[in-house]
């Protein structure tokens, strides 16, 4: 009945197919094997240190009574209220500014958006202390504009301004993506019902972005409350909890006290993490798949106001960077304003500058080179394959870094890896442990970038690979990775820059040989060598910016080069 | 069984008592299906009926809770997808966007112990088979939907599988292209003589393409038969309703081959005994005349008349059963045109009436 005229090539001899169960076994090894390794890696690099820190709290003298005594001491309450005041004030400054800035970028026709956006990213390219150093140059005892702060910049106002500078880009990124999601149909409906701009904003824009505002506020609060770099540099006598935790461990060897404060600092992080997770659930399906992209109508008045506001913010951000970089190039601020590279001659300032810089380059490169494939592959397997309970465990562990501030992670590493009974004790003080620490610290955001890119791929690609009896790892290499190369480069950039600028966890992990640039900034400043601190900060900034720029150029070249097959596909 | 590229032998597929549930939700309930060698079977049903799950279980992309799968003589119930001998065309085609058409088609050949020249020859053959030789160096994004579908098909067939699975292959295409590709796909499948299982929710597609159709509903196969039998002799009310248009008349009792509907009595060819139930009849099976016929003729009034080009669709109300609306389809030739708004006689040919006992759906 059915004819058998399948096209044949006469020369082709019967060929046995490859043993397809080899492919199946290879897949199992790739999926479950890598996941298992990741679980162990996360357990050792994250969960166990965290447990070590929490259990250290029990070492407090007199047990619970001792803990209570410490918590109810007037000094602790003073630190706590300072921390909260600083964090709330930072939120109050950053969020409105970031919202307006994001609004200007996403909902207007102002010129120079690329420039504004680039400037807004600058704070992320340098260690957090850069802003504090710049503030001291501007408003400090020898500052040009000292008169602006008659009570002195050291203390509350300095910390808040520094934190605002440092946290601005993080809040901005959340708000930009929230304002990027808009359903034009709602705006059309609002306008057709005669609502004016303000009313439309209140009824359409605000409801769709208020979750992001809350999430950004939580993030800024958590970041501020756990950051100690800025208060150490500019805090003066005004002390906060994060600083106290750092000093009790590093300076005074009061480990249990440090652990207790670390545990307390975990609370806002956990709360904001939980709130964020809850809101993600609420937000699901808010913008439907039929949503039409919203393009703001032209409005010269609105655009002028927004340009002025965004320009002012950008100018403020830029001026701090310029002051820090500029001051590092000046011979002797403010008495001899001639240009000089004196501060970059680190040999004279304790011989740590260039060593630290080299170490930082090594750390950042290694974290990016190792972390990118590891994190991307982990994200891929979690997104595209199923392994039962292993998935749930891994998912939980992968979210954990978001909820653990760097300071807390650093303390955990001290208690866990520096413990004499730990067989991994030998890693303590080495660059390898710092690489592990950085990969853990920056895992979640990097993984989210990867996951976002992976979700844009056709979900049947893996099934197609299965049906064609090709091992998954081949398809991952031949299809998935080439398509996701731009996201891969973004993960690389993020890991590099974050590792280059990070202080909070790493400051607990270095030894004299492995001192890092960002750590050295803090130490140089502590030693009163603010010029060298500014110089080293500027060097870190320059390195991060150049690497980001190079990767940006690379990504765009790549996209142009692969245009022929990217058309029509994400 | 080392099936080879050159020799393709059609094998049967047997699905035996397959069950699948997600938590409390029973997706497949004791489903059995025998697909003969070289046959094209359509799994047809509304969304959520389990047809896609069944296909994915056959493909090994989903694990069944119970039951067995036999492909040829091999039990593949627990086999990994890579150990099953099938090719699949996905709804989205799932082409690899960064690989050329030729690379896409040769993808499944690269892991087999084949020489480069053999792979190239095979890809050439497949390109020729689907008529895309000129596009070998292009990328999927540069092709039309219909061309992409053919690439997906060529890629699935390149390793000469014993079984071809088609997952809603037409749903991503425009209506016009769809019509054309149905015939093309069916012709290709006939030419290759490959055992094929296709999932669709489009009954026209199933009618045109399938040797046999398995109509599925709520995780069960309601009827598994040729398109003609499914249409003419549905065995369940669901099938009757799902395929084509259906008229329903409730009866109170059945006796001596006659159904009693209030004051009305209709003669049936085959009738179970008992009451109450529903009578089923296709719209085009009803006769509409100005005079009564010998039997089963009922006076009725035309309520609505739709012109569909080649035929009229009439909505009529039976005079003896007020409120009972029926749909009749009649040829749109001239004598039918005169039915305007008139009283007509509706005739139910006995062989077209089927009784489904029981009140519910």
Q: Does B91 touch chain A (CB under 8 A)?
A: yes
The complex's ipTM? Answer: 0.82
Q: Do B259 and B150 belong together in one domain?
A: no
Nearest to A24 among B61, B80, B141 (CB): B80
Concatenating the DSSP letter of every residue in A502-540 gives --TTGGGTB-GGG--HHHHHHHHHHTT-HHHHHHHHHHH
Using DSSP's 3-state secondary structure scheme, residue A139 falls into: helix
Q: Do B162 and B297 belong together in one domain?
A: no
| pLDDT at residue B339, rounded to an integer | 62
Q: Do B315 and B348 belong together in one domain?
A: yes
Q: Does B2 touch chain A (CB under 8 A)?
A: yes
| pLDDT at residue A283, rounded to an integer | 57
Segment A123-158, tens digit of pLDDT: 999 999 999 999 998 888 887 888 888 888 888 999
Q: Does B38 touch chain A (CB under 8 A)?
A: yes
Range of the domain at A502: 21-61+342-570
The helix/strand count (H/E) of chain B reads as: 9, 21
Q: Do B231 and B139 belong together in one domain?
A: yes
| pLDDT at residue A66, rounded to an integer | 77
Between helix A389-403 and helix A443-455 the angle, nearest 10°, is 130
Which among A12, A38, A63 is positioned nearest to A443, based on CA atoms?
A38
Q: Do A314 and A413 belong together in one domain?
A: no
Last residue of a domain, one of B241, B261, B289: B241
**Residues in B touching A5 (Cβ below 8 Å):** 191
Position with higher pLDDT, A358 vs A71? A358
The answer, yes or no, to whether residue A48 has pLDDT greater than 90, is yes
The answer to whether the Cβ–Cβ distance between A458 and B82 falls below 8 Å is: no
Question: CATH number, domain at B191?
Answer: 3.40.50.300
| pLDDT at residue A8, rounded to an integer | 42
Position with higher pLDDT, A98 vs A565? A98
Q: Does B142 touch chain A (CB under 8 A)?
A: yes
The answer to whether the Cβ–Cβ distance between B141 and A482 falls below 8 Å is: no
Q: Which of B96, B129, B189 is most worth mutating to test chain A (most A CB atoms within 10 A of its CB)? A: B96
Q: Do B204 and B265 belong together in one domain?
A: no
**Residues in B touching A467 (Cβ below 8 Å):** 59, 81, 86-88, 108, 156, 165
CB burial of residue B56 (10 Å; 0-12, 13-18, 19+):
buried
Phi/psi-derived region of residue A294, left when phi > 0, alpha when psi is between -120 and 50, beta in every other case = beta
Q: Do A424 and A498 belong together in one domain?
A: yes
What is the number of structural domains in chain A? Answer: 2
Percentage above 70 pLDDT, chain A: 92
Residue A137: inside a domain: yes
Phi and psi at residue B47, to the nearest 5°: -65, 140
Q: Do B208 and B250 belong together in one domain?
A: no
Residue A321: inside a domain: yes
Range of the domain at B291: 246-357
Residue B251 CA to residue B260 CA, distance in Å, equals 6
- Chain B nearest C-alpha distance from A388 (Å): 13
The answer, yes or no, to whether residue A309 has pLDDT greater than 90, is yes
Q: Does A284 touch chain B (CB under 8 A)?
A: no
Q: Do B278 and B162 belong together in one domain?
A: no
In b/e form, how buried is each residue of B58-93, taking b as 16+ CB within 10 angstroms? Answer: bbbbbebeebebbbbeeebbebbbbbbbbbbbbbbb
The per-residue pLDDT of chain A, averaged, comes to: 85
Last residue of a domain, one of B197, B217, B241: B241
Residue A284 CA to residue A281 CA, distance in Å, equals 5
Q: Do B212 and B83 belong together in one domain?
A: yes
Q: What average pLDDT does the segment A495-506 reach?
A: 92
Highest average pLDDT, of A199-213, A239-253, B12-26, comes from B12-26
Question: CATH number, domain at A43?
Answer: 1.10.3720.10
Residue B7: inside a domain: no
| pLDDT at residue B134, rounded to an integer | 93
| pLDDT at residue B335, rounded to an integer | 58
Q: Do A49 and A109 belong together in one domain?
A: no
CB B29 within 8 A of CB B220: yes
Q: Do B225 and B342 belong together in one domain?
A: no
| pLDDT at residue B65, rounded to an integer | 94
| pLDDT at residue B19, rounded to an integer | 95
Residue A279: inside a domain: yes
Position with higher pLDDT, A338 vs A46? A46
Specify the pTM: 0.84
Q: Do A538 and A484 belong together in one domain?
A: yes
Q: Do B22 and B158 belong together in one domain?
A: yes
Contacts of B322 (CB under 8 A, 6+ apart): none
Q: Among residues 434-463 of chain A, which lie with CB inside 8 Å of chain B?
A: 458, 460-461, 463
| pLDDT at residue B244, rounded to an integer | 87
Percentage above 90 pLDDT, chain A: 40
Segment A61-90, tens digit of pLDDT: 667 777 788 888 888 899 999 999 999 999
Residue B36: inside a domain: yes
Highest average pLDDT, of A246-250, A284-288, A317-321, comes from A317-321
CB A437 within 8 A of CB A45: yes
CB B199 within 8 A of CB B43: yes
Q: Does A85 touch chain B (CB under 8 A)?
A: no
Q: Do A111 and A220 belong together in one domain?
A: yes
Last residue of a domain, one of B218, B241, B264: B241
Q: Reading across the β-sheet that carries B277-281, which strands appear in turn? A: B247-251, B277-281, B354-357
The β-bridge partners of B307 are B312
Q: Do A196 and A283 belong together in one domain?
A: yes
Residue B291: inside a domain: yes
DSSP H or E segment with residue A485: helix A485-501
The β-bridge partners of A452 are none
- Chain A nearest C-alpha distance from B43 (Å): 20
Residue A539: inside a domain: yes
Long-range Cβ contact pairs of B249-257 (< 8 A, separation 24 or more)? B249/B278, B249/B279, B249/B281, B249/B321, B249/B324, B249/B326, B250/B276, B250/B277, B250/B278, B250/B279, B250/B359, B251/B275, B251/B276, B251/B277, B251/B278, B251/B279, B251/B355, B252/B276, B254/B355, B254/B357
CB B110 within 8 A of CB B187: no
Using DSSP's 3-state secondary structure scheme, residue A453 falls into: helix
Q: Do A330 and A348 belong together in one domain?
A: no
Residue A12: inside a domain: no
Contacts of A507 (CB under 8 A, 6+ apart): A246, A250, A410, A519, A522
Query: Tens-digit pLDDT profile for chain B (361 aa)?
Result: 333 333 457 899 999 999 999 888 889 999 999 999 999 999 999 988 999 999 999 999 999 999 999 999 999 999 988 889 999 999 989 999 999 999 999 999 987 777 888 999 999 999 999 999 999 999 999 999 899 999 999 999 999 999 999 999 988 888 888 888 899 999 999 999 999 999 999 999 999 999 999 999 999 999 999 999 999 889 999 999 999 889 999 888 888 888 888 888 888 887 777 778 889 999 999 988 888 888 888 989 888 888 888 888 889 998 888 888 899 998 877 655 566 557 888 999 988 888 888 764 4
Question: CATH number, domain at B347?
Answer: 2.40.50.140
The answer to whether the Cβ–Cβ distance between B90 and A464 falls below 8 Å is: yes
The answer, yes or no, to whether residue A570 has pLDDT greater than 90, is no
Q: Do A190 and A286 belong together in one domain?
A: yes
Q: Does A467 touch chain B (CB under 8 A)?
A: yes
Q: What average pLDDT does the segment A247-266 reach?
A: 83
Phi and psi at residue A341, to the nearest 5°: -100, 15
The answer, yes or no, to whether residue A279 has pLDDT greater than 50, is yes
Instruction: For residue A429, give the DSSP letter.
Output: B
The helix/strand count (H/E) of chain A reads as: 27, 2
């Amino acid at each position: 009945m059915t004819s058998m005229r399948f096209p044949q090539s006469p020369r082709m001899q019967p060929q046995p197919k490859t043993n397809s169960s080899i492919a199946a076994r290879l897949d199992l090894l790739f999926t479950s094997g890598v996941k298992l390794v990741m679980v162990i890696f996360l357990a050792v690099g994250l969960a166990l240190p965290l447990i070590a820190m929490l259990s250290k709290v029990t070492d407090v003298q007199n047990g619970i009574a001792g803990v209570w005594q410490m918590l109810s001491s007037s000094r602790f309450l003073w630190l706590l209220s300072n921390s909260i005041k600083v964090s709330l004030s930072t939120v109050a400054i950053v969020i409105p500014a970031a919202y307006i800035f994001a609004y200007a970028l996403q909902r207007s026709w102002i010129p120079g958006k690329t420039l504004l956006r680039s400037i807004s990213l600058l704070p992320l390219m340098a260690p957090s202390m850069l802003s504090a150093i710049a503030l001291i140059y501007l408003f400090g005892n020898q500052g040009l504009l000292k008169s602006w702060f008659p009570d002195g910049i050291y203390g509350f106002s300095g910390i808040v301004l520094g934190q605002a500078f440092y946290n601005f880009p993080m809040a901005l990124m959340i708000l930009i993506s929230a304002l990027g999601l808009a359903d034009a149909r709602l705006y059309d409906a609002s306008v057709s019902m005669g609502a004016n701009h303000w009313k439309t904003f209140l009824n359409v824009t605000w409801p769709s972005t208020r979750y992001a505002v809350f999430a950004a506020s939580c993030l800024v609060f958590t970041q501020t409350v756990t950051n100690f770099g800025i208060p150490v540099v500019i805090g003066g006598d005004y002390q906060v909890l994060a600083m106290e935790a750092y000093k009790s461990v590093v300076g005074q060897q009061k480990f249990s006290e440090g652990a207790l404060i670390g545990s307390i600092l975990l609370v806002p992080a956990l709360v904001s993490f939980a709130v964020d997770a809850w809101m993600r659930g609420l937000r699901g399906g808010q913008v439907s798949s039929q949503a039409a992209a919203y393009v703001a109508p032209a409005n010269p008045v609105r655009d002028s106001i927004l340009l002025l506001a965004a320009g002012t913010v950008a100018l403020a951000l830029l001026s701090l960077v310029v002051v820090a970089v500029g001051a590092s190039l000046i011979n002797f601020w403010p008495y001899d304003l001639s240009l000089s590279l004196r501060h970059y001659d680190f040999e004279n300032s304790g011989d740590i500058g260039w060593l630290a810089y080299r170490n930082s380059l090594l750390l950042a490169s290694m974290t990016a080179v190792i972390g990118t494939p590891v994190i991307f592959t982990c994200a891929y397997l979690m997104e595209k394959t199923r392994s039962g309970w292993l998935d749930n465990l891994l998912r939980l562990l992968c979210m954990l870094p978001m909820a653990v501030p760097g300071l807390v992670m650093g303390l955990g590493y001290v208690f866990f890896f520096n413990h004499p009974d730990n067989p991994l004790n030998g890693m303590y003080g080495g660059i390898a442990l710092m690489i592990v620490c950085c990969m853990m610290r920056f895992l979640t955001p990097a993984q989210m970038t990867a996951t976002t890119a992976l979700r844009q791929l056709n979900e049947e690609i893996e099934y197609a690979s299965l049906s064609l009896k090709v091992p998954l790892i081949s398809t991952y290499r031949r299809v998935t990775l080439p398509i996701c190369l731009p996201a891969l480069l973004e993960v690389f950039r993020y890991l590099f820059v974050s590792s280059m600028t990070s202080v909070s966890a790493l400051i607990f992990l270095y030894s004299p040989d492995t001192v890092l640039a960002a750590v050295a900034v803090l130490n140089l400043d502590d030693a009163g060598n603010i010029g060298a601190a500014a110089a080293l900060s500027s060097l870190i900034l320059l390195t991060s910016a150049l690497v980001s720029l190079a990767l940006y150029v690379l990504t765009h070249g790549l996209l142009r080069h692969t245009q022929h097959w990217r058309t029509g596909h994400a | 069984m080392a099936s080879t590229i050159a020799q393709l032998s059609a094998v049967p597929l047997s699905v035996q008592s397959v069950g699948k549930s997600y938590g409390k939700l029973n997706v497949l309930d004791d489903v059995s299906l025998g697909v003969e060698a070289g046959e094209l079977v359509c799994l047809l049903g509304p969304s959520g009926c389990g047809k896609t799950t069944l296909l994915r279980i056959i493909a090994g992309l989903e694990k069944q809770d119970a039951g067995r799968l036999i492909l040829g003589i091999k039990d593949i119930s627990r086999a990994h997808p890579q150990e099953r001998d099938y090719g699949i065309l996905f709804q989205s085609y799932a082409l690899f966007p960064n690989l050329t058409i030729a690379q896409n088609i040769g993808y499944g050949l690269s892991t087999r112990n084949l020489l480069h020249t053999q792979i190239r020859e095979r890809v050439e053959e497949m390109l020729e088979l689907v008529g895309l030789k000129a596009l070998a160096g292009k990328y999927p994004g540069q092709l039309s939907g219909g061309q992409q579908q053919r690439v997906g098909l060529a890629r699935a067939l390149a390793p000469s599988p014993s079984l071809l699975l088609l997952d809603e292959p037409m749903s991503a295409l425009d209506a016009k292209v769809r019509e054309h590709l149905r015939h093309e796909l069916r012709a290709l499948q006939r030419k290759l003589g490959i055992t094929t299982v296709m999932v669709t929710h489009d009954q026209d597609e199933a009618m045109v393409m399938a040797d046999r159709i398995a109509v599925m509903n709520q995780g069960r196969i309601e009827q598994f038969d040729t398109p003609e039998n499914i249409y003419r002799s549905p065995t369940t009310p669901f099938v009757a309703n799902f395929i084509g248009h259906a008229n329903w008349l409730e009866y109170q009792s059945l006796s001596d081959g006659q159904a009693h509907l209030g004051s009305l009595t209709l003669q049936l060819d085959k009738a179970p005994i008992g009451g109450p139930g529903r009578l089923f009849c296709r719209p085009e099976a009803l006769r509409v005349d100005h005079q009564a016929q010998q039997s089963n003729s009922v006076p009725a009034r035309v309520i609505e008349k739709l012109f569909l080009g080649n035929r009229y669709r009439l909505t009529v109300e039976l005079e003896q059963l007020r409120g009972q609306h029926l749909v009749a389809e009649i040829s749109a030739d001239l004598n039918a045109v005169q039915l305007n708004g008139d009283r007509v006689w509706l005739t139910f040919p006995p062989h077209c009436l089927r009784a489904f006992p029981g009140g519910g759906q």
